[in-house]
Amino acid sequence: MRFRIPLVVFLLFVLGLSAVHAQRGFRRFLIEDDDAPMPADAAEKTEFTFARLRYPSGGSWGYRGHWTIDYPKADRQFVQGVRRLTRIHTRSVEEVVDLDTDKIFDYPWIYVVEPGRWILSDEQCKKLREYLLRGGFLMTDDFHGSDEWEQFMYSMGRVFPDRPVVEIEDGDPAFHVLYDLDERLQVPGIVNYPYHRTHERDGYEARWRGIYDDKGRLMAGICFNQDLGDAWEWADDPTYPEKYASFAYRVGINYIIYAMTH
Amino acid sequence: MFEFLFQHPSTLFAKGQFTLLSPWPVWVLVLLVLSAAGGLVWYALRSRGVLPKPRALVVGALQAAMAAILLLLLWRPAISVTTLRSQQNVIAILLDDSQSMGTDEGGARRIEQAVRGLEGGVLDRLRDRFQIRLYRFGGGLERLEKLEEASATASASRLGAALRETLAETATLPLGAIVALTDGADTSSGIDRETIAQIRGRKIPVHTVGYGREVISPDLEITDVVVPPRTLADSRLSAEVVFRQNGLAGKKTKLTIREGGQRGGPDGKVASGRILLTREVTLKADGQPQAETISFQAGSAGAKSFHFSFDPVPGERNELNNSLQRLVNVEGEKPRILYFEGEPRWEFKFIRRAIDEDRGIQLVTILRTTQNKIYRQGILDPTELEAGFPARAEDLFQYSGLIFGSVDAAAFSPEQQELIREFANRRGGGVLFLGGRSALSDGGWDASALAELLPVRLADRTGTFHREQATLELTPQGREHLITRLLEDPIRNAERWKQMPALADYQETGPPKPGALVLAEVAAQGRRQPLLAVQRYGRGRTALFATGGSWRWQMSQDLADRTHEDFWQQLLRWLVAETPGQVNGTTPRPVLSDESVVRLRAEVRDKEYSAVSDARVEARIVGPGGVAASIDLAPDPMEDGIYLGEWAADPTGAYVAEVLVRRGEEDAGRDVVMFHREDGVAEHFRVEQNKELLRNLSEQTGGRYYEADEIGRLPDDIEFSEAGLTARQTLDLWNMPAVFLLLLALRGAEWFVRRRWGVI
């Protein structure tokens, strides 16, 4: 009898855990199954390659590092959309680049996931600054709330100590270069399943921020308090809302075309 | 000696007509000569027992020659010649009084040599038989009372004008001959055909006496500077400075370009002005033309004057011919270039960024982003290019240049393709083709009507575009071309290009077409092939840059490096630098040296660039000291759309003519023409004796050319003329000592050979 209460509690816990685990999103949250098959045309040489930045980070995302979140499925699924929806000659697989070699200069568009965790060295900040000023474009995604913003700015502030991060205005070509994105959504991550809530931490409102060069050209598109990467990754999941997936594709494609035109 | 042997001057034989005075027929003479010769040779051969056959033939030939001469004398050979009647004819003596006649020739100036030559008996001998009119000429003709009045101070030397004025002034006089004492260093455009025809019509021989050395040494002289008459603001200008030197081979000097420099001071050298560039030049072989191609910044918009000058080399005899001036109209308008790109590419972005920094060019772009959408940039209003690539001439021809990126030829309708061809051919625009996966052969351009616009032949297959890194290498032509000139020195420039990062890709091309210029090649697949090539096409120009991967030059080099920007700005500026507007004003001689009449020419076209012949064309001229005038240009009956006019620019200095065109009440365009009038500058150039000009003048008019020390023969020769009042003389030739000596020589030769052969 004295074991009855603990046993009931244990059984209820197991039952609850099973129920929760049965929910697909939560299951993914616990063990992100980001793997994706290697396309047959992976070796094709193309004009555009989805370049994912590998950066040093602390925190708890384990041995892979925060730069690998949604990798590589989000990347490969997103470029399928780029191929289908635009004339951009796009590679079917991503390329991982870092700020420790000059390889990054062969990829004028890079994607950074969870920059709220990055910790760039001074040398890496310097290289990123040079990359952007030469004409490279940076798209950041999937970081939320004031703490991660602060961490983001700890490095970004050293990349451009002289340039402010500003809100991108509605009329900016980045929001119109292909798709008109006057009405923008806060795209939720998979952790928000079943998506009644779209924000994480204290990042209640999606922010569209950027850094401009001296000629008014956007160098960095900073998607803050939103998770486009998850929307790309789970676009093929029937439970993920189509409106978020479609919007995330549009945002990503607009930033690529903007980077290839400005 | 000649006159001793032939009793008459050589000129008589040159001018006279040979004749036989005997009433006997000439055929009889021929028959007798042949008979006598035949008989004598036959007789000599008949006695071959005495002499072998060859020797007998020699003796026979000598006897036959002697017989022939004696027979000829029986027919009374004579020469008939027209001579001037004594004291009834006028001889005009023209003395060059220009500054080049002041050149020192070993202790005496040319003018002094000429005066001394005349005063040394020649003038007196002429005066004994003719009425003499003395003139001096420079820019014009002037009577000269005394030879001492000649001072070699005239700022020009226009021999053609002097001859014309002489003819006019002596139109009612019996002018027997003209004598010109000159160095032939003419500062005008030579002697025109009309003047020569007038002289020949009156049969007046022009005798020329040449002064001065044919080679001035040591001396360096700029002979020409070739520079485009107009360019875009902030452009690099390329000038070819042509010069030659004598006696200075191997020496070094400095070539300087000044903006706004003026010839000032008594020495006439260029001193003021802002120095734009200097370059050290090593002088090459004596007497050979040498050229330096030099580029410099044209600067902001406006009428610019550039002086190109060499520093004097120690010992140089004439330092005033080391500098030349050229005018350039630096246009403030921004030409617009339409760039059609078939797919989003990094090349597109980085070309746009490079041109964004160029204040002189505006890039308008159409990018096909998806199957159904285009993205336009650089447009003036939302309606511009709304329907995509223009389909009407007036819409397309508003641009000065076109660029085609990675887009297949089939994207353009046959009508649009014809418009593109006419864009280069009729409108005179520049067209650039880039490499890409849908460009050139891979885009079917080789099979399109536009293949002829390309400066290279294209392969008749696809799969020519390769996303493999490749390195550009300049050709010898590319080392100095305005498009590819990153550094002034051609060798350092070529080295700089070798250090450039590799291109991201390249496209195979074929061999260049005749007339095309390959500026850069790429080594790939075991062979070198054109990468950057240019050519003229109709009124325009076309170019090929067979890659879509020059963006790596920007991304792979330090931020401070401007190679990518400079290259694209230079390429696109070159593409449209000579694209004409609807109104194109020109003048054949932008620098009027010692002449005042400026000829203006305007080419007028409508929005479709068809010739316009019903326009009213006016030129408003503003010059130094507040000079202002307005003239109407008249349609050229020989050519549609061309309007011509002339105006006399009296004060020296810089002029600007604004050409305004109206069609009815409509303003149909405008252009600006610049010209400059200067006096006394050309006189310092080509100061060596122009013997060729003087010889040609004399030969074409029946006169004779004399070296300075031969002037003493002039009085004897001058009487043989068909102009003025003349008499015909017939002079016997049989009594010439030369005839007697010839007969004696023939007889003596026969005697000599007979003696030698032992048959006397």
Phi and psi for B579 in degrees, rounded to 5?
-70, 120
* A35 domain-assigned: no
Which pairing describes strands A137-141 and A109-113: parallel, antiparallel, or unpaired? parallel
Find the residue in A nearest to B436 (Cα).
A47
Q: What is the pLDDT of residue B50?
A: 73
Chain B residues whose CB is inside 8 A of the A89 CB are 343, 437
Question: Residue A201 sits in a domain of what CATH number?
Answer: 3.40.50.12140
Tokens of B198: 């007038």
* A197 domain-assigned: yes
Chain B residues whose CB is inside 8 A of the A48 CB are 344
CB atoms within 10 A of CB A167: 11
Q: How many CB pairs under 8 A join A and B?
A: 80
The answer on pLDDT for A158 being more than 50 is yes
Q: What is the pLDDT of residue A23?
A: 44
Separation CA B542–CA B420 (nearest Å): 11
Q: What is the pLDDT of residue B49?
A: 67
Q: Is the torsion defined by CA of B185, B189, B190, B191 positive or negative?
A: negative
* A16 domain-assigned: no
Q: What is the pLDDT of residue B684?
A: 80
* A186 domain-assigned: yes
Q: Give Cα separations from A97 to A37, A50, A102, A230 (angstroms).
A: 20, 10, 9, 20
Q: B554: distance to nearest CA of chain A, Å? A: 7
Q: B526: distance to nearest CA of chain A, Å? A: 21
Q: Give Cα separations from B489 to B278, B492, B494, B584, B747 (angstroms).
A: 12, 5, 9, 34, 76
Q: Please answer yes or no on whether A87 and B552 come within 8 Å at the CB atom.
A: no
Q: pLDDT of B279-309, one tens digit each?
A: 999 999 998 899 988 888 888 888 888 999 9
Chain B residues whose CB is inside 8 A of the A217 CB are 353
Domains in chain B, ordered, with CATH?
A: 2-83+729-757 (no CATH), 86-214+688-724 (3.40.50.410), 219-331 (2.60.40.10), 336-576 (3.40.50.880), 583-682 (2.60.40.1930)
Chain A residues whose CB is inside 8 A of the B558 CB are 130
∠ CA(A24), CA(A26), CA(A27), 5° rounding?
Answer: 65
Q: B380: distance to nearest CA of chain A, Å? A: 16
Q: How many domains does chain A have?
A: 1
Q: Which residues of chain B have pLDDT under 70?
A: 48-49, 189, 261-271, 760
Three-state secondary structure call for residue B370 = coil
* A149 domain-assigned: yes
Q: Give Cα separations from A37 to A14, A74, A85, A110, B14 (angstroms).
A: 34, 12, 21, 22, 103
Q: What is the pLDDT of residue A24?
A: 39
**In DSSP terms, which residues pair with B431 in a beta bridge?**
B402, B542
* A1 domain-assigned: no
Q: What is the pLDDT of residue B273?
A: 82
Provide the H-helix boundaries in chain A.
Answer: 4-22, 24-30, 73-85, 122-134, 145-159, 228-233, 242-259
∠ CA(B557), CA(B563), CA(B567), 5° rounding?
Answer: 140
Q: What is the dihedral of CA B156, B160, B165, B168, to 10 degrees?
A: -170
Chain B residues whose CB is inside 8 A of the A214 CB are none
Chain A residues whose CB is inside 8 A of the B504 CB are 106
- Choice between B527 and A50, residue whose per-residue pLDDT is larger: A50
The answer to whether residue B376 neighbours chain A at the CB level (below 8 Å) is: no
Helix axes B737-757, B53-74, angle to 10 degrees: 160
Interface test with A, best of B347, B350, B370 (most A CBs within 10 A): B370
Q: What is the pLDDT of residue A18?
A: 52
CB atoms within 10 A of CB A241: 17
Q: pLDDT of B681-722, one tens digit each?
A: 777 888 889 999 999 999 999 999 999 999 999 998 898 888
* A9 domain-assigned: no
What mean pLDDT do residues A40-57 have? 97
Burial class (CB in 10 A: 0-12, 13-18, 19+), B664: exposed
User: Which of B342, B343, B555 comes nearest A134 by C-beta?
Assistant: B555
Three-state secondary structure call for residue B376 = strand
User: Which of A102, A134, A177 comes nearest B559 by C-beta?
Assistant: A134
- Structural domain containing residue A175: 44-259
Separation CA B93–CA B136 (nearest Å): 8
Q: What is the pLDDT of residue A117?
A: 94
Q: What is the pLDDT of residue A31?
A: 45
The pTM score is 0.76
Find the residue in B nearest to A130 (Cα).
B559
Three-state secondary structure call for residue B32 = helix
Find the residue in A nearest to B346 (Cα).
A260
User: Which of B344, B352, B548 comes nearest A88 by C-beta?
Assistant: B344
* A6 domain-assigned: no
List residues of chain A with CB under 8 Å from any CB of chain B: 45-48, 85-89, 102, 105-106, 108, 130, 133-136, 177-178, 215, 217, 256-257, 259-262
Q: Please answer yes or no on whether A262 and B352 come within 8 Å at the CB atom.
A: yes
Buried residues in A122-159 as b, exposed as e (16+ CB within 10 A): eebbebbbbbbebbbbbbbbbbbbeebbebbeebbebb
Tokens of B705: 């050319």
Separation CA B465–CA B437 (nearest Å): 6
Q: What is the pLDDT of residue B270?
A: 57
Separation CA B659–CA B601 (nearest Å): 9
Under 8 Å CB-to-CB from A37, ≥6 apart: which residues? none
